[in-house]
Amino acid sequence: MSTTQSERLRALLEPLVGSQGLDLEEIAVDSVGRKRVLRVVVDSDDGADLDRIADVSRALSAKLDETDAMGEGEYTLEVGTPGAERLLEEHRHYRRAVDRLVTFRLTDGTELVARILTVDEDALDVEVPGVKGRRPTARRIALADVDKARVQVEFNRKDKNVGDDKEEEA
């Protein structure tokens, strides 16, 4: 997709996505055989459930049908949310990843796996898990020192609040 088409699509769709209370995270047009697929990724601080995705998909489809932004020919519109192992690129992505385990590659080349505790304008407070029975350690990472960050999927994470409700009921 040309930069011009990408910019045109973003300018056309971003206000509409924003009016639905979502952020437009990504736009991609891919060719699949003879058809084209327009992939739109949306998200918000509260996440986006299937109803919100369906609503924004209908709104985007109607807007695209009104314009020639996709040019001539058929295309398929796919609207979704970022994947479980999303890259963190914008400040809002870090905010949304609080309490998540993240793999960081820092600008000095080191890699670090840590849980994001807090995010402010310039830095992250993280907790580096302890190894072999050692306690976790706190660390502050300047956002400017992060080259790449990706959320990790945790299958066996125990929720900090599990059991709290049971104590209240007893």
Tell whether the torsion through CA atoms of 142, 43, 97 and 152 is positive or negative. Answer: negative
Query: Of the candidates 109, 11, 148, 117, which has an alpha carbon nearest to the alpha carbon of residue 69?
Result: 11
End-to-end Cα distance, the chain: 59
Segments of 82-145 assigned E as strands: 101-106, 111-119, 123-128, 137-142
- Which ranges in the chain are annotated with CATH 3.30.300.70? 3-80
Taking 50 as the pLDDT cut, the residues of the chain under it are 1, 161-170
The CATH code belonging to domain 91-151 is 2.30.30.100
The residues that bridge with 31 in the sheet, in sequence order, are: 36
- Conformation bin of residue 29: beta by default, left when phi > 0, alpha when psi is -120 to 50: beta
Q: Confirm if 15 and 63 have CB atoms less than 8 A apart.
A: no
What is the structure's pLDDT at 118?
A: 96
What is the structure's pLDDT at 159?
A: 54
- Which ranges in the chain are annotated with CATH 2.30.30.100? 91-151
Q: Confirm if 137 and 128 have CB atoms less than 8 A apart.
A: yes
What is the structure's pLDDT at 163?
A: 41
What is the structure's pLDDT at 165?
A: 41
**All residues at 6 or more sequence positions from 135 whose CB lies less than 8 Å from its CB, including other chains:** none
CATH topology of domain 3-80: GMP Synthetase; Chain A, domain 3 (3.30.300)
What is the structure's pLDDT at 114?
A: 95
Per-residue pLDDT of 102-112, as tens digits, reads 999 999 999 99
Q: Confirm if 170 and 157 have CB atoms less than 8 A apart.
A: no
Per-residue pLDDT of 106-147, as tens digits, reads 999 999 999 999 999 999 999 998 888 889 999 999 999 999
Q: Which amino acid is at 165?
A: D
What is the structure's pLDDT at 72?
A: 80
Cα 113 from Cα 99, distance rounded (Å):
13
Q: Confirm if 97 and 84 have CB atoms less than 8 A apart.
A: no
What is the structure's pLDDT at 1?
A: 47
